[in-house]
C-alpha cells in the first residue's frame, strides 16, 4: 500500500544527483547516527544492545533524527545495519563488545547453502520497513530519507567468514577453489537485496545506497566477476521497478574501477579518500563517452559522493575548513552540481560533535 507523506522541503541532494542547479552543496555523513553523539549512547543504553535498538521502531527513529537536530544535514539515513539480511537467513547475528558482529553459523558447504531460506522481507525484516515509514513520517518533509543494503559480495564475506575479517581466508579460498558455489551464494543474496531495497522504497525511502564495503579487497578481474556484476544486476532490477528513485553505489577502495562501475544504472558513485575528485570526474566523463559508443545510446552522467577522510575531523576547526575547501575546489572544476559531500567512510566514534558541525557548515558555506 502506498504511504502518504509530507512534501519534501529540502530537495537539494536530489537535485544534485540529477545535475540540476543547487544553491549550496548538499551534505550528509555516513554513520551520522552513531557513537560520537552522547544522545545516541544514551538511547542505545536504554535499548540494552545494538540489535534491540535496530528492531525498536521508536528508538531507531529517534537515533536517525538525532544528528538532524544538531546539524544542517541534507539527508537522513535509516538507522539499521548491513547485516540484517544474513540475520534473516537464520545465521544468528550477535555483537560482542569490542569485537564487532559475529554469526553463530556460517555458509561454507552445499548443506549450509541449502538451509538458507527464501527471505520474506516484509515478515522477517518488517521492523526495518516499520522504521523507514515511521522515520519518513517524523521527518515531515525536512530532508530526503536514505534506505540501504550491503552488497552481495560484502554480505557473503560475513556469511562465509562468520564475522569481520582482514584476510577473507575462507571467502577467497571459495572464490578460487569453488567459484560456482560462491556464485550460487551471491545469486541468492542478490535476490534478497533486491527485495529488501524494493520494500524500503515502498515503505518510504527516497534514495537507496548499496554499501560494497569490502569490494576493494578483490583483484580487478575478481571485482568485476564477484562484485560489480551482481551490483549492476541489482540496480537494473530496482530501476525497472522504481526508475525515479536514485541509487548510490559505494565501493570502499573502488576508485580504481570507476570506468567499470560507470557501466551500471547507478545515479551516483561514492568514493573513499584515495581518489581525487577532479580525477574521478574526468574518468567518469571519459567512461560516459566510451559507454555511449558501446551501448549505442547516450549514457547519463554519474554524480559523485564523498570523499573526505573522516579522520580529518580530529584536526582543528581551521584544518577541517581548509580540507573541505580543498575537496570542493577539486570537484567543482566544470559542473557546479552533480556532487554530494560526505566522508570516504563512516564517521568514527571518537569525533567531537562540534567538529562534525564544522564539516557540515563548511560545506554549505563554500561558494559555488
Q: What are phi and psi of 30, to 5 degrees?
A: -60, 135
32 is in an annotated binding site: yes
Q: What is the DSSP letter of 89?
A: T
The grid coordinates listed for 23 are: 544553491
C-alpha cell recorded at residue 99 = 569485537
Locate the DSSP E strands across 112-176: 145-150
Q: Are 271 and 344 in contact (CB under 8 A)?
A: yes
Of 343, 345, 346, 338, give the one whose Cα is nearest residue 359.
Answer: 343
DSSP assignment of 8-74 equals PS--HHHHHHTT---SS--B--TT-SSTTSHHHHHHHHHHSSHHHHHH-HHHHHHHHHHHHHHS--S
Tell me if 345 is assigned to a ligand binding site. yes
**Stretch (H or E) spanning 243:** none
As a whole number of angstroms, the distance between CA 349 and CA 297 comes to: 45
Q: Is position 31 annotated in a ligand binding site?
A: yes
d(CA 276, CA 271): 9
Known binder of ligand: residue 81?
A: yes
- Residue 6, Cβ density class (10 Å: 0-12 exposed, 13-18 middle, ≥19 buried): exposed
For residue 234, give the nearest of 297, 189, 288 by alpha carbon.
189
Q: Determine if residue 364 is labeled as part of a ligand binding site.
A: no
What is the widest separation between alpha-carbon atoms in the chain?
58
Does 112 belong to an annotated binding site?
no
* CA atoms of 42 and 172, how far apart (whole Å): 39
Can you say whether the dihedral through the CA atoms of 290, 291, 294, 297 is positive or negative?
Answer: negative
User: Which residues are paired to 163 by β-bridges?
Assistant: 102
Burial group, residue 41, by CB count within 10 angstroms (0-12, 13-18, 19+): middle
Could you tell me the three cell numbers for 151? Answer: 552488497
Q: Report, as residue numbers or ranges, the catalytic residues.
A: 31, 35, 44, 81, 158
Residues belonging to the binding site for substrate are 31-35, 81, 158, 213, 345
Residues belonging to the binding site are 31-35, 81, 158, 213, 345
Amino acid at each position: 500500500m502506498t504511504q502518504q507523506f509530507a512534501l519534501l522541503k529540502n530537495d537539494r541532494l536530489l537535485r544534485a544527483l540529477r545535475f540540476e542547479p543547487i544553491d549550496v552543496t548538499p551534505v550528509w555523513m555516513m554513520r551520522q547516527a552513531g557513537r560520537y553523539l552522547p544522545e545516541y549512547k544514551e538511547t542505545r543504553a536504554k535499548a540494552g544492545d545494538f540489535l534491540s535498538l535496530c528492531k525498536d521502531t521508536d528508538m531507531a527513529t529517534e537515533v536517525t533524527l538525532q544528528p538532524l537536530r544538531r546539524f544542517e544535514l541534507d539527508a537522513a539515513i535509516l538507522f539499521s545495519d548491513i547485516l540484517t539480511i544474513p540475520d534473516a537467513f537464520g545465521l544468528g547475528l550477535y555483537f560482542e563488545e569490542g569485537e564487532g558482529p559475529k554469526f553463530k553459523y556460517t555458509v561454507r558447504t552445499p548443506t549450509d547453502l541449502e538451509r538458507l531460506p527464501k527471505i520474506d522481507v516484509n515478515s522477517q525484516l518488517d521492523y526495518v520497513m516499520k522504521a523507514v515509514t515511521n522515520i519518513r513520517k517524523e521527518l515531515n518533509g525536512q530532508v530526503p530519507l536514505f534506505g540501504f543494503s550491503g552488497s552481495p559480495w560484502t554480505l557473503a564475506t560475513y556469511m562465509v567468514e562468520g564475522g569481520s575479517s582482514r584476510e577473507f581466508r575462507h571467502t577467497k579460498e571459495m572464490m578460487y577453489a569453488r567459484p560456482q558455489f560462491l556464485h550460487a551464494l551471491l545469486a541468492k543474496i542478490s535476490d534478497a537485496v533486491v527485495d529488501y531495497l524494493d520494500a524500503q522504497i515502498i515503505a518510504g525511502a527516497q534514495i537507496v545506497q548499496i554499501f560494497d564495503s569490502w569490494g576493494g579487497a578483490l583483484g580487478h578481474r575478481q571485482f568485476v566477476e564477484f562484485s560489480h556484476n551482481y551490483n549492476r544486476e541489482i540496480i537494473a532490477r530496482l530501476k525497472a521497478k522504481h526508475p525515479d528513485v536514485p541509487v548510490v553505489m559505494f565501493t570502499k577502495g573502488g576508485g580504481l574501477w570507476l570506468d567499470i562501475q560507470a557501466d551500471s544504472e547507478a545515479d551516483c558513485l561514492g568514493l573513499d579518500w584515495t581518489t581525487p575528485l577532479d580525477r574521478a570526474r574526468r574518468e567518469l566523463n571519459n567512461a560516459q563517452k566510451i559507454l555511449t559508443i558501446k551501448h549505442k545510446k547516450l549514457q547519463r552522467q554519474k554524480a559523485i559522493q564523498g570523499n573526505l577522510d573522516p579522520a580529518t575531523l580530529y584536526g582543528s576547526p581551521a584544518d577541517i575548513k581548509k580540507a573541505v575547501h580543498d575537496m570542493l575546489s577539486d570537484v567543482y572544476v566544470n559542473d557546479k552540481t552533480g556532487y554530494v559531500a560526505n566522508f570516504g567512510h563512516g564517521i568514527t566514534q571518537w569525533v567531537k560533535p562540534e567538529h562534525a558541525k564544522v564539516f557540515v557548515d563548511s560545506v554549505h558555506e563554500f561558494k559555488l
